[in-house]
Amino acid sequence: MKRYFLGVDIGTFESRGMLIGEDFRPAADVSVPHTMENPRPGWFEHDAEGVWWGDLCKITKKLLEESGIAPEQIACVGASALGTDCLPVDEHCRPLRPAILYGIDARAEKEAAWLTEYYGEERVRELFGHPICSGDTATKILWIKNNEPEVYARTYKFLTGSSFLTARLTGEYVIDQFLAKGSFRPLYHGDGRKNEAECPLYCRPDQIADCAVSTDIVGYVTPEAAAQTGLAPGTPVVTGTGDSTAEAISVGLVEPGTAFFQYGSSMFYYYCVDRFVDQFVSPNGNGSLKGGKVFTVPGTFCMGDGTNAAGTLTRWVRDTLYAPELAAQEAGGENAYAVMAREAAQVPPGSGGLMMLPYIYGERSPLQDPKAAGMIFGLRGGHTRKHIGRAALEAIGYSTYQHLILFEEMGLPPRRIITAGGGTKNRTWMQIVCDMAGLPITIPEPWQCSSYGDAMLAAVGCGTLKDFLALRDALPQGTVLRPDPENHSYYKAHYPIFRELYRANRESMYALRDDS
């Protein structure tokens, strides 16, 4: 009997599932769209029951139906979800409120400020590894404690997305040790144990999940979950992880010196290194990077963080300036993003003297400034939507380049760059990133995505793949883009303008934000 491995990923605006065979190539691939709620400025939520669990159930049933593969042929299941979120559930693993999403949700600013004052900056650095920011899940738990006491009192567990999916499949409450030691600090020690000394400020130690490695088989599909998903009862399930980690693994981020940039709704990076690195603040005003942590791949460490906008910025441009093309797309015409990419390619580097800052939802890395704002600078009468579209792509490219500059300032210049995510469909955008970086970049196959990574992690978990090096060797080669030296020189010379636009206008951004 042929065996297959199932991976399901829940993203910001779309969920995707994939079945791969023992040749480690897709046998079936299904996607379903969903929405993200924005009930107040700075608040971003998902209906965990309807979106997270509902999408997983739809996807598994559809995969089985379309492929004709029997549920009993699925050897193992892996699941991932967007970033690290905060979802309180009751003792039956039923959500008590909408899930508070990853770092894009900045509702816990007051809690972050209070914690910084409570601990002091030096202690914050020891406990969190960086200045407290919107990506820290502990602040979101504290926000629930302060603002929704009735929800807090009923909470059995505070989960992130992947933990919720695994719990609904198996009844077991676990979290990938990589996520726990990153965004859930200081609730866990560096070795994965719950930090019983620090937990009480936020929640009881028993209210958070137990740590496990992403490829550990932590449970088996329950009869109830089987009835809802179409899977066979008793199917093994691995711990799972975050969507960015799953995607990084899917494209081969398993060796030190490799940097991975994921271009989805936000830009997320992981940089695999061979040693622990502490938080770094640029002496040249280029921002700061969080310290490293133990990575999913045994024996390696990883730096990682994300921006608040990438695809959301291009989406804003599309919705604002390409309404006719979007309407034509919905009527069966050409994809509006394809029109945007073609038009952006017609504009030379520099967008005709137009520059944008991408901080339309504040910013995480490398600014860690939720009050930052976007900007269109240098606008003249001759500029068109083509220039604005290219400037948006260049804004995200400059943000990527800013991270590479920080790596170099740390003495850790990458040897290899891999990109992934929906943004890689836009080759104009990826060539901009390549030209800015001044290094070749590898673009994987379109199906090398988070759900593919989940399936590959499941293959490691059940022993079909021996380890992560075997996983790397099973991956396809992908497409390699090479930089244009002239364009690289241009972008390198103009990057300081991008950096100084934020630094020079920061206080004005804050003043305008207070008026909104």
456 is a domain residue: no
pLDDT of residue 163: 98
The reply to whether 276 and 211 lie within a common domain is: no
Could you tell me which residues are beta bridge partners of residue 120? none
449 is a domain residue: no
Q: Which two tokens stand for residue 14?
A: 């779309």
Which tens digit of pLDDT belongs to each residue from 174-218? 999 889 988 899 999 878 899 999 999 999 999 999 999 999 999
Q: How confident is the model at residue 107 (pLDDT cuts 50, 70, 90)?
A: very high
Q: Find how far residue 51's CA is from the centre of its chain.
A: 17
Which tens digit of pLDDT belongs to each residue from 54-93? 999 999 999 999 999 999 999 999 999 998 899 999 999 9
Q: Find how far residue 45's CA is from the centre of its chain.
A: 15
The reply to whether 229 and 296 lie within a common domain is: no
pLDDT of residue 130: 80
494 is a domain residue: yes
Q: Which two tokens stand for residue 92?
A: 């039956």
3-state secondary structure 283-336: CCCCCEECCCEECCCCCCEEEEEECCCCHHHHHHHHHHHCHHHHHHHHCCCCCH
Task: Flag whether pLDDT at 516 surpasses 70.
Answer: no
Q: Percentage of residues in the chain with pLDDT exceeding 70? A: 100
What is the average pLDDT score of the chain? Answer: 95
The reply to whether 233 and 321 lie within a common domain is: no
Question: 140-167 burial, b if ≥16 CB within 10 A, otherwise e?
Answer: bbbbbbeeeeeebeebbbbbbbbbbbbb
The reply to whether 88 and 208 lie within a common domain is: yes
The reply to whether 93 and 204 lie within a common domain is: yes
474 is a domain residue: no
Q: Percentage of residues in the chain with pLDDT exceeding 90? A: 88
Contact 164, 101 (CB under 8 A): no
The reply to whether 357 and 499 lie within a common domain is: yes
The reply to whether 183 and 152 lie within a common domain is: yes
What is the distance between the alpha carbons of residues 321 and 302, in angstroms, rounded to a whole number?
38
E-strand ranges in 355-402 read 355-357, 375-377
Contact 352, 388 (CB under 8 A): no
Question: 209-233 burial, b if ≥16 CB within 10 A, otherwise e?
Answer: bbbbbbbbbbbbbbeebbebbbbee
463 is a domain residue: no
476 is a domain residue: no
Residue ending a domain, among 216, 245, 274, is 245
Half-sphere exposure in the Cβ direction for 60 (13 Å, CA): 33
Residue ending a domain, among 245, 261, 276, is 245
pTM, entire model: 0.79
Summarize the confidence of residues 307-329 as an average pLDDT: 96
Which tens digit of pLDDT belongs to each residue from 416-459? 999 988 899 999 999 999 999 999 999 999 899 999 999 999 99
Its domain, for residue 302, covers 252-443+484-516
Q: Which two tokens stand for residue 344?
A: 């952006």
Summarize the confidence of residues 48-57 as an average pLDDT: 98
The reply to whether 256 and 227 lie within a common domain is: no
The reply to whether 319 and 377 lie within a common domain is: yes
The reply to whether 171 and 258 lie within a common domain is: no
User: What CATH code is carried by the domain that includes residue 360?
Assistant: 3.30.420.40
The reply to whether 193 and 133 lie within a common domain is: yes
Which tens digit of pLDDT belongs to each residue from 376-389? 999 999 999 999 99
396 is a domain residue: yes
Q: Find how far residue 187's CA is from the centre of its chain.
A: 21
Residue ending a domain, among 245, 273, 307, is 245
Contact 368, 288 (CB under 8 A): yes
The reply to whether 389 and 373 lie within a common domain is: yes
Which tens digit of pLDDT belongs to each residue from 123-174? 998 899 888 988 899 999 999 999 999 999 999 999 999 999 999 999 999 9
What is the distance between the alpha carbons of residues 22 and 20, in angstroms, rounded to a whole number?
7
Task: Flag whether pLDDT at 290 surpasses 90.
Answer: no
pLDDT of residue 192: 84
- Report cis status (omega within 30 of 0) of the bond before 366: yes
52: CB partners within 8 A, 6+ apart:
10, 46, 81, 99, 161, 164, 165
462 is a domain residue: no
pLDDT of residue 296: 84
Q: How many structural domains compose the chain?
A: 2
